[in-house]
Structure 1
Amino acid sequence: MERAYQILVVDDHKDIRDLLQRFLQQHGLRVMTAADGNEMYKHLNAQRFDLIILDLMLPGKDGITLCRELRAENNIPIIMLTALGEEVDRIVGLEVGADDYLAKPFNPRELLARIKSVLRRHFAIPNVEEQTSGTPKNYLFNQWLLNTTTRELRNPQQALIPLTSTEFTMLLAFLCHPNVVLSREDLLKLVQGRGADVYDRSIDTLISRLRKKIETDPKQPKLIKTIWGGGYQFSCEVSHDAH
């Protein structure tokens, strides 16, 4: 990695915290640890972190609750850890905004690889921007505004709506192709940046997360429509400017 990213490990098992801290520091990362949500917030209030490794089963507020709270405030990358390996747990973690998910027990090298992948996806220019020559700064749709420089999304009331890096890239893909039916394969090609870990089944989860943020009624979406047998369509007029 080109710079020493700051990582926060949140896990109630001291042995796991100490092991991950030693291992990740040996590979050029700066690491701090927390045993629960209270310690996590103390660290977050004191300094900036590039990524959080968040255990699902924690005393007090669990990882799902903490992840949901974090997502309501910022787009810091989150990798969730859990002793549970059921698919439903993975889906719930992704739905509340986790960028990746790893079941215990795991090889620390696999976690390191996932950290690198998530950080690349978060800090690198995504594929959809590379494919769009002269990407405009501002995209406007249905009185919403997406700023591609700051990666900020504002609703019609000008309130800031936090987006993960993958949610931002997915929304930008739609805004670059309004009123066009995009298959899951199309979306995968547009969303996958260098080292991005996006797979076919996660497209639906990303769509669900985006709908909850921009649709008036996510269960009856009017912006991101499902085209049965075809994929998805962003059914809205989109305008943009360069300033």
Structure 2
Amino acid sequence: MNLINDFCLAVGILKGVQVLVVDNDRDSRDLYAFLLEDFSANVITAGSIKEALEILSWFTPNIIVCEIRFLGESIYTLLNTLNAIEADNGKHIPIIVASTSATGTCDQIPDVEFEEYLVKPFDLDEFVSIIVNQVQENVAESFCTELLVAN
């Protein structure tokens, strides 16, 4: 399905989904926020790892979209904080990593676990579809976990 062209069919597809977008490129950050908000997601944006960490002190996203390269900051700081949040609440927060470079980036970060890796510029329909799929998978996993714990 072409979500952007079939916008009328997709309105509200991300209703209730909390998204944190972390990108040092303002244009990318604003584009993702605008697009996801049009599909009814609640989007908070951060322009740095430091800002993202401050936001995570009061906001728990369902999914994170994050640039992988930050001048003078390490994505590992963000990932360590996410691991602590996940340990506290028992719920996995999927990460979609975006980067402006396709060469070597994944190999340079072997310890980073992420659900999807997108090279900018990427197809916006695919981007929205990935987010919808990740959120649905995460909800299903949480539901199954809750059932197992209850029994």
- Both structures adopt the same fold (TM-score exceeding 0.5): yes
Aligned positions of 1:127-206 closer than 5 A:
148-149=145-146
Higher relative contact order (CA 8 A, sep 6+): 2
Regions of 4+ moved over 6 Å: none
Which ranges of structure 1 fall in alignment gaps of 5 or more residues? 130-147, 153-241
Question: Contact between 1:79 and 1:102, CA under 8 Å: does it hold in 2?
Answer: yes
In the alignment, which residue of structure 2 is the partner of 1:117?
Answer: 133
User: 1 or 2, which has the higher helix percentage?
Assistant: 2
CA distance in 2, matches of 1:16, 1:108: 11
1:15-34, aligned counterparts within 5 Å?
Answer: 15-34=27-46
Paired position in structure 1 for 2:82: 70
Q: Report the 3-state secondary structure (helix = DSSP H, G, I; strand = E; otherwise coil) of the residue aligned with 1:149.
A: helix
C-alpha contact (below 8 Å) 2:18/2:41 kept by paired residues: yes
Q: Secondary structure at the match of 2:97?
A: strand
> Residues 106 and 64 of structure 1: is their aligned pair in 2 closer, same or farther, counting only changes over 3 Å?
farther
AA aligned to 1:81 is: A
Relative distance call for 1:125 and 1:104 in structure 2 (3 A) is same
Q: For each residue in 1:178-227, what CA deviation from the matched residue of structure 2 results, as whole angstroms up to 9, or x when unmatched?
A: xxxxxxxxxxxxxxxxxxxxxxxxxxxxxxxxxxxxxxxxxxxxxxxxxx
In structure 1, distance between residues paired with 2:62 and 2:53: 14
TM-fit CA distance, 1:17: 1.0
The alpha carbon displacement at 1:29 in A equals: 1.1
- 2:63 matches 1:51: yes
Give the aligned CA root-mean-square deviation in angstroms. Answer: 2.7
What is the TM-score of this pair, normalised by structure 2?
A: 0.73
Shift of 1:123: 0.7
The amino acid across from 1:67 in the alignment is L
* Counterpart for residue 97 of structure 2: 80
Identity of aligned residues (%): 27
More strand by share: 1
Please say if residues 49 and 77 of structure 2, whose CA atoms lie closer than 8 Å, have aligned partners that are also in contact: no
SS at match of 1:4: coil
- 1:32 corresponds to which letter in structure 2? I
Structure 2 residue ranges without an equivalent (≥5):
1-12, 87-91
Instruction: Work out the CA distance in 1 between the residues paired with 2:148 and 2:66.
Output: 24
TM-score, reference length from structure 1: 0.48
